[in-house]
């Protein structure tokens, strides 16, 4: 039994019991008097929700006619409606008592976190973060655990009446239809992207020419907040009250058949309502036909002269002209009654800066449309029948490019207006006062600020309707078609620019809220590159993250164009609780069948719907939601993005495969190779694996073709072998160990520098490294080639010492530049002049701009010269570009590899970052995101001596050797 107080008095209950049951289903906690809440209705021709995103138990039965009737109030342009009480009473009786809180605040909070938000198009205008009326009804029905869509509509309209959400045009109340689109109202106490909290100064400069004048605005507003913070908190709370129709009576003697005595008992209301309507039939109100049309404004003799086809054409033209007049009148009302008074100081502490942002160039639009409307009105007055409309429309729509500017800034204007309304009680009072004036028909300012873009979207619809009733040989066919093309091109630009603005606002709000308390968290943010102009904020929402052996964790997930991010809210910040998952490393699974099994014996409101995302090479995450449509929307959104990133820049051409465990390999010529493993050296001549030298404990091999030598690093000794002798098989039975070139060597590198073919043997210690270089003894090689000497020559004699130098750090790699050697060591990259042996750092490690790179976790791997003449500096986790003087050559572009890389290759314009389980392909001309991922296992890189060909070896039981080539299918 509920306490008495859902209605004002016992007398009012007795007098209005049947009406109040539905028209006031909430118990207001607010003591302020409010107008009765009247729920809009719909006709029997209303459409059903999409079958593809809702389970069958939530779908509306197409064989049933809805009993929600709409009556249009033409004077106010607002739908005034009533709900059929019989329908709710009957459907409520068909289901069990609803096991859900009747508090509207709790329903509202769940609705916000569950409603699937998507991009929607209405009248050619794109709206972001929207949902359809059918989605709203299905979400509410799912949340409270009911199949009664009419009850869900009533609850939704209660939420809407307290401004939880609104129609995108601010015109219609909630209707269970796919055609009607709604947006959540910005609220300070809702998650980051739903609130009006915005740092205008951060992005205003992109849209306002004199950005300096706006930077102080948020501070001024902030200073006004303290006076009104309590009032604003109250105003912007979630909807409050109790929806009595789903509340449970707590009297132990109260049952469905014998309800208790309380007039506020929901069972008693349903019982009385059913009894009173048992023998009654639903009465429907029908809207009277609109008399304001062309046929009622002309003489009968004029109507007799035109056929039915022409009459329909004139009706649409009349609608075009009249709606244009109404639109221009609305613009004038906004300018005259709101914009100009605000500019003149009607609200203290608000000035022209606020007006310039919120109203943008609305007066320019008025100047373009007012003459157009005047010309159309004049045509209508002087001609009962308008023969040609296209000439006039074509003349004026060429001036409609001003809509592009307006559409671009409108998302920012909407945010800023809400921000100011929350901050300034004076502005809120002024706008409420204006809303009550007849010129504004009780509609909020936001509705009128949306008129320019919505009117632009209506033009093609009206023009198509005119063309449908216009003869093929009529001049308007060409003129109006051309007019429509111009408008559609403007619409396209409006949608593109408005989308970018909305995206920038959301990204800015989200990125500024991210926790940056540790270096690791900062690095994760850098990986996302939220400030990139190419970044797209695709979707976000609250989901349940499944955890083994414990209750699911509520998390906020954000899906960007380049990553899937799992976060949770903290005080004043948003914390990433897992590493961002790059889109290219996502594997998606819709757990549809498993959900059916898990939900089989659960109550309606206990069911969960899930999908899984696998971070390739890391782990799998399973997310759950109470709403089927939300799960389906997530799966569809992620799937669509995964298809978009499936590009092919690089292909693998398989050369050879074997069961031999390959530790190292070199290319002798073409695709003839020598492989090394723990048992010796092998070759693939004749596509057959053949041992050419039994030798154990080989660490690495490399070749110097000009000297005809293969160098083997074994037990820290460098030993040269004749390539010809190896390939001929002359050394297969030779177990005698040849003379060593040098010993105590940690690693070796071979390359070409300053006209010399060099072998660099590096001996390292913890704090220093010694590098010895050797070059071919060319006179001896020439003598051997010309057979001018007959004595047997040792392979050791073919090389002679070249240089020796010292590096005060532990060396890890060596790259050969034109005249220098670049030594990668734990301190960074050191450049050594091969002639003078002078050493200097590749870049100034004491420069604050490079402080981030002097970290233990960053290991220098390789330096690559690009085709553009600069250098790509490759560390295991990041890469960046420098010029020959060590300065950034491509701005501050930094490439954050998805996974620590062990080696790198360059096939212009692509950079290959090789890891153990996959190869990342990056385009040097656009390093915003990785272009391709090639998966494998135990991947290692080796190249031809000239570096022209790049090979990889991968596999576990079976090792595959592949040559990397540019894909013929790649997109530029």
Q: What's the CATH code, domain 514-645?
A: 2.30.29.30
CA–CA separation, 40 vs 580, rounded Å?
A: 44
DSSP-assigned letters across all residues of 276-339: HTTT-------PPPP--SGGGTS-HHHHHHS-HHHHHHHHHHHHHHHHHHHHHHHHHHHIIIII
The answer to whether residues 639 and 624 touch, using CB atoms and an 8 Å cutoff, is: no
CA–CA separation, 550 vs 552, rounded Å?
A: 7
Q: What count of Cα atoms within 13 Å lies in the side-chain half-sphere of residue 558?
A: 30
Q: Say what the alpha-carbon torsion angle 366, 370, 373, 374 is, to the nearest 10 degrees.
A: 170
Instruction: Say what the pLDDT of residue 243 is.
Output: 83
Instruction: Say what the pLDDT of residue 72 is.
Output: 36
The answer to whether residues 25 and 158 touch, using CB atoms and an 8 Å cutoff, is: yes
Instruction: Look up residue 237 and give its two tokens.
Output: 């709370």
Q: Per-residue pLDDT for 87 more than 90?
A: no
CA–CA separation, 307 vs 964, rounded Å?
A: 72
pLDDT in tens, 54-85: 444 444 443 333 333 333 333 333 333 333 43
Instruction: Say what the pLDDT of residue 565 is.
Output: 95
Q: What are residue 587's DSSP bridge partners?
A: 614
In this prediction, residues 157-180 reach a mean pLDDT of 85
Instruction: Say what the pLDDT of residue 464 is.
Output: 94
The answer to whether residues 691 and 681 touch, using CB atoms and an 8 Å cutoff, is: yes
The answer to whether residues 922 and 864 touch, using CB atoms and an 8 Å cutoff, is: no
Q: Per-residue pLDDT for 493 more than 80?
A: yes
Q: What count of Cα atoms within 13 Å lies in the side-chain half-sphere of residue 219?
A: 7
CA–CA separation, 204 vs 214, rounded Å?
A: 7
Q: Per-residue pLDDT for 51 more than 70?
A: no
DSSP-assigned letters across all residues of 677-743: ETTEEEE-GGGS-EEEEE--SEEEEEEEGGGTEEEEEETTEEEEEEHHHHHHTTTTT-------SEE
Q: Per-residue pLDDT for 972 more than 80?
A: no
Q: Per-residue pLDDT for 200 more than 90?
A: no
C-alpha of 859 from chain center: 32
CA–CA separation, 524 vs 579, rounded Å?
A: 7
SS3 assignment, position 753 = strand
Instruction: Say what the pLDDT of residue 207 is.
Output: 55
The more confident residue out of 154 and 230 is: 154
Pinpoint the residues of the chain covered by CATH 1.10.10.10: 98-193+239-246
CA–CA separation, 223 vs 155, rounded Å?
A: 38
The mean-pLDDT minimum among 87-91, 439-443, 669-673 falls in 87-91
pLDDT in tens, 720-745: 988 888 888 877 776 666 788 899 99
Q: What are residue 947's DSSP bridge partners?
A: none
In this prediction, residues 876-880 reach a mean pLDDT of 91
Cβ contacts of 427 within 8 Å, gap of 6 or more: 347, 350, 420, 421
Instruction: Say what the pLDDT of residue 400 is.
Output: 95
Pinpoint the residues of the chain covered by CATH 2.30.29.30: 514-645
In this prediction, residues 776-788 reach a mean pLDDT of 71
The answer to whether residues 37 and 26 touch, using CB atoms and an 8 Å cutoff, is: yes
In this prediction, residues 427-452 reach a mean pLDDT of 92
Whole-prediction pTM: 0.67
SS3 assignment, position 526 = helix
DSSP-assigned letters across all residues of 155-213: HHHHHHHTTSEEETTS-----SSSS-EEEEPP-TTS-GGGS----HHHHGGGT-SSTHH
Reference 898, options 858, 939, 933; nearest CA is 933
Q: Per-residue pLDDT for 204 more than 70?
A: no
The total of other beta-carbon atoms located within 10 Å of residue 719's CB is 21
At residue 191 the predicted structure's pLDDT band, cuts being 50, 70 and 90, is very low
CA–CA separation, 410 vs 416, rounded Å?
A: 10
pLDDT in tens, 564-593: 999 998 888 999 999 999 999 999 999 999
The answer to whether residues 586 and 577 touch, using CB atoms and an 8 Å cutoff, is: no
Q: Per-residue pLDDT for 290 more than 70?
A: no
Q: Per-residue pLDDT for 108 more than 60?
A: yes
Reference 749, options 761, 737, 757; nearest CA is 761
In this prediction, residues 881-885 reach a mean pLDDT of 88
Domain 98-193+239-246 class in CATH: mainly alpha
Reference 47, options 125, 135, 140, 164; nearest CA is 135
Instruction: Say what the pLDDT of residue 190 is.
Output: 37
Cβ contacts of 775 within 8 Å, gap of 6 or more: 756, 757, 758, 759, 799, 800, 802
Q: Per-residue pLDDT for 44 more than 70?
A: no
pLDDT in tens, 354-399: 899 999 999 999 999 999 999 999 999 888 889 999 999 999 999 9
Average pLDDT, whole number, for the chain?
78
CA–CA separation, 343 vs 363, rounded Å?
A: 13
Instruction: Say what the pLDDT of residue 208 is.
Output: 54
Q: Per-residue pLDDT for 53 more than 80?
A: no
Number of residues assigned to the chain: 972
Q: Say what the alpha-carbon torsion angle 183, 185, 186, 187 is, to the nearest 10 degrees.
A: -140
Q: Per-residue pLDDT for 187 more than 60?
A: no
Pinpoint the residues of the chain covered by CATH 1.20.900.10: 298-505
Reference 963, options 664, 659, 672; nearest CA is 672
Instruction: Say what the pLDDT of residue 823 is.
Output: 93
Q: What count of Cα atoms within 13 Å lies in the side-chain half-sphere of residue 373?
A: 19
The more confident residue out of 682 and 793 is: 682
At residue 318 the predicted structure's pLDDT band, cuts being 50, 70 and 90, is very high
Instruction: Say what the pLDDT of residue 494 is.
Output: 93
Instruction: Say what the pLDDT of residue 202 is.
Output: 53
CA–CA separation, 296 vs 483, rounded Å?
A: 29
The total of other beta-carbon atoms located within 10 Å of residue 267's CB is 20
How much of the chain exceeds pLDDT 90, in percent?
31
Instruction: Say what the pLDDT of residue 120 is.
Output: 79
CA–CA separation, 911 vs 926, rounded Å?
A: 11
Reference 410, options 365, 463, 352; nearest CA is 365
CA–CA separation, 465 vs 315, rounded Å?
A: 10
In this prediction, residues 884-900 reach a mean pLDDT of 86
Instruction: Say what the pLDDT of residue 965 is.
Output: 81
In this prediction, residues 614-625 reach a mean pLDDT of 92
How much of the chain exceeds pLDDT 70, in percent?
78
- DSSP classification of residue 852: G
DSSP-assigned letters across all residues of 787-835: T---S---GGGGEEEEEEEEESS-EEEEEE-SSEEEEEETTEEEEEETT
pLDDT in tens, 835-867: 999 988 888 767 777 777 776 678 889 999 999
At residue 468 the predicted structure's pLDDT band, cuts being 50, 70 and 90, is very high
CA–CA separation, 800 vs 709, rounded Å?
A: 13
The answer to whether residues 564 and 531 touch, using CB atoms and an 8 Å cutoff, is: no
In this prediction, residues 810-820 reach a mean pLDDT of 90
pLDDT in tens, 693-717: 888 889 999 998 878 889 999 999 9
In angstroms, what CA-CA distances link 556 with 504, 516, 623, 698? 19, 17, 11, 51
Strands laid side by side in the 672-677 sheet: 664-669, 672-677, 680-683, 690-694
Instruction: Say what the pLDDT of residue 948 is.
Output: 67
Instruction: Say what the pLDDT of residue 556 is.
Output: 93
Q: What's the CATH code, domain 298-505?
A: 1.20.900.10
Q: Per-residue pLDDT for 26 more than 70?
A: no
Backbone angles phi and psi of 701, in degrees to 5:
-135, 155
Cβ contacts of 581 within 8 Å, gap of 6 or more: 563, 564, 565, 566, 613, 615, 618
């Amino acid at each position: 039994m509920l306490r008495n107080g859902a209605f004002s008095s016992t007398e009012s209950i007795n007098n209005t019991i049947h009406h109040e049951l539905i028209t006031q289903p909430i118990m207001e906690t607010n003591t302020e008097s409010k107008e009765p809440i009247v729920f809009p209705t719909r006709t029997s021709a209303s459409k059903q929700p999409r079958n593809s995103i809702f389970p069958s138990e939530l779908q509306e039965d197409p064989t049933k006619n809805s009993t929600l009737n709409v009556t249009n109030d033409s004077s106010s342009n607002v739908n005034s409606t009533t709900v059929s009480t019989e329908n709710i009473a009957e459907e409520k009786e068909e289901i069990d008592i609803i096991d859900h809180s009747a508090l509207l605040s709790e329903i509202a909070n769940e609705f916000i976190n569950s409603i699937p938000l998507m991009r929607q198009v209405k009248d050619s205008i794109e709206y972001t973060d929207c949902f359809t009326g059918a989605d709203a009804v299905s979400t509410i029905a799912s949340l409270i655990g009911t199949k009664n869509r009419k009850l869900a509509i009533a609850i939704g309209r209660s939420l809407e009446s307290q401004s939880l959400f609104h129609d995108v045009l601010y015109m219609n109340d909630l209707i269970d239809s796919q055609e009607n689109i709604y947006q959540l109202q910005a609220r300070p106490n809702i998650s980051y992207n739903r609130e009006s909290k915005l740092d205008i100064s951060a992005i205003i400069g992109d849209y306002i020419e004199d950005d300096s004048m706006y930077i102080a605005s948020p501070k001024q507003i902030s200073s006004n907040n303290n006076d009104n913070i309590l009032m604003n908190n109250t105003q912007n709370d979630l909807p409050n009250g109790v929806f009595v129709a789903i509340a449970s009576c707590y009297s132990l003697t109260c049952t469905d058949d014998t309800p208790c005595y309380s007039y506020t008992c929901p069972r008693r209301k349903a019982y009385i309502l059913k009894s009173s309507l048992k023998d009654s039939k639903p009465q429907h109100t029908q809207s009277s036909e609109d008399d304001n049309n062309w046929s009622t404004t002309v003489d009968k003799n004029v109507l007799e002269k035109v056929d039915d086809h022409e009459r329909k054409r004139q009706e649409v033209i009349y609608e075009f002209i009249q709606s244009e007049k109404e639109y221009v009148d609305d613009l004038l009302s906004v300018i005259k009654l709101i914009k100009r008074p605000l500019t003149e100081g009607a609200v203290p502490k608000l000035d022209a800066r606020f007006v310039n942002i919120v109203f943008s160039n609305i007066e320019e639009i008025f100047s373009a449309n007012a003459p157009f409307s005047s010309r159309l009105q004049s045509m209508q007055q002087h001609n009962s029948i308008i023969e040609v409309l296209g000439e006039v429309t074509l003349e004026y729509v060429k001036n409609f490019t001003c809509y592009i500017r307006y559409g671009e800034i409108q998302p920012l204007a909407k945010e800023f207006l809400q921000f100011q309304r929350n901050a300034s009680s004076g502005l809120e009072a002024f706008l409420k006062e204006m809303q009550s004036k007849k010129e504004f028909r009780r509609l909020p300012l936001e509705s009128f600020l949306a008129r320019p873009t919505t009117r632009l979207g209506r033009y093609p619809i009206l023009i198509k309707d005119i063309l449908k009733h216009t003869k093929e040989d009529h001049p308007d066919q060409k003129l109006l078609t051309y007019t429509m093309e111009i408008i559609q091109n403007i619409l396209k630009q409006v949608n593109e620019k408005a989308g970018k603005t909305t995206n920038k606002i959301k990204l800015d709000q989200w990125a500024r809220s991210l926790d940056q308390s540790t270096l690791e968290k900062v690095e994760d943010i850098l990986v996302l590159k939220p400030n990139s102009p190419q970044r797209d904020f695709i979707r976000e929402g609250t989901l349940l993250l499944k955890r083994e052996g414990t209750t699911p964790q509520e998390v906020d997930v954000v899906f960007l164009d380049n990553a899937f991010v799992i976060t949770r809210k903290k005080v004043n910040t948003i914390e990433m609780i897992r590493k961002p998952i790059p889109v290219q490393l996502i594997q998606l699974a819709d757990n549809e069948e498993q959900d059916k099994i898990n939900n089989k014996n659960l109550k309606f409101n206990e069911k969960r719907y899930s999908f899984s995302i696998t971070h390739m090479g890391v782990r799998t995450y399973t997310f759950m939601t109470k709403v089927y449509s939300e799960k389906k929307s997530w799966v569809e959104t992620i799937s669509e993005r995964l298809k978009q990133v499936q590009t092919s820049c690089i292909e693998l051409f398989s050369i050879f495969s074997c069961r031999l465990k390959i530790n190292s390999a070199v290319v002798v010529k073409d695709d003839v190779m020598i492989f090394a493993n723990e048992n010796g050296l092998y070759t693939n001549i004749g596509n057959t694996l053949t041992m050419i030298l039994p030798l154990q404990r080989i660490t690495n091999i490399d070749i110097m073709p000009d000297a005809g030598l293969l160098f083997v690093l074994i037990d820290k000794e460098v030993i040269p072998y004749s390539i010809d002798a190896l390939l001929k098989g002359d050394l297969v039975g030779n177990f005698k160990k040849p003379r060593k070139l040098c010993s105590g060597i940690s690693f070796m590198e071979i390359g070409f520098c300053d006209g010399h073919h060099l072998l660099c043997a590096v001996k390292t210690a913890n704090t220093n490294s010694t590098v010895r270089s050797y070059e071919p003894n060319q006179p001896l090689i020439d003598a051997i080639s010309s057979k001018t000497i007959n004595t047997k020559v040792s392979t050791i004699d073919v090389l002679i010492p070249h240089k020796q130098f010292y590096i005060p750090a532990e060396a890890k790699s060596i790259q050969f530049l034109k005249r220098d050697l670049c030594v990668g060591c734990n301190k960074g990259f050191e450049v050594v002049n091969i002639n003078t042996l002078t050493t200097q750092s590749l870049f100034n490690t004491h420069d604050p701009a490079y402080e981030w790179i002097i970290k233990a976790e960053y290991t220098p791997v390789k330096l690559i010269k690009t085709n553009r003449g600069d250098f790509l500096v490759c560390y295991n986790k990041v890469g960046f570009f420098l010029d020959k003087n060590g300065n950034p050559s491509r701005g501050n572009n930094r490439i954050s590899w998805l996974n620590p890389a062990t080696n790198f290759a360059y096939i212009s314009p692509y950079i290959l970052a090789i890891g153990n389980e996959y190869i990342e392909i990056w385009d040097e001309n656009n390093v915003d995101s990785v272009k391709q991922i090639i998966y494998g296992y135990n991947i290692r890189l080796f190249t031809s001596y000239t570096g022209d060909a790049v090979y990889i070896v991968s596999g576990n039981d079976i090792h595959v050797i592949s040559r990397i080539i540019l894909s013929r299918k790649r997109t530029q």
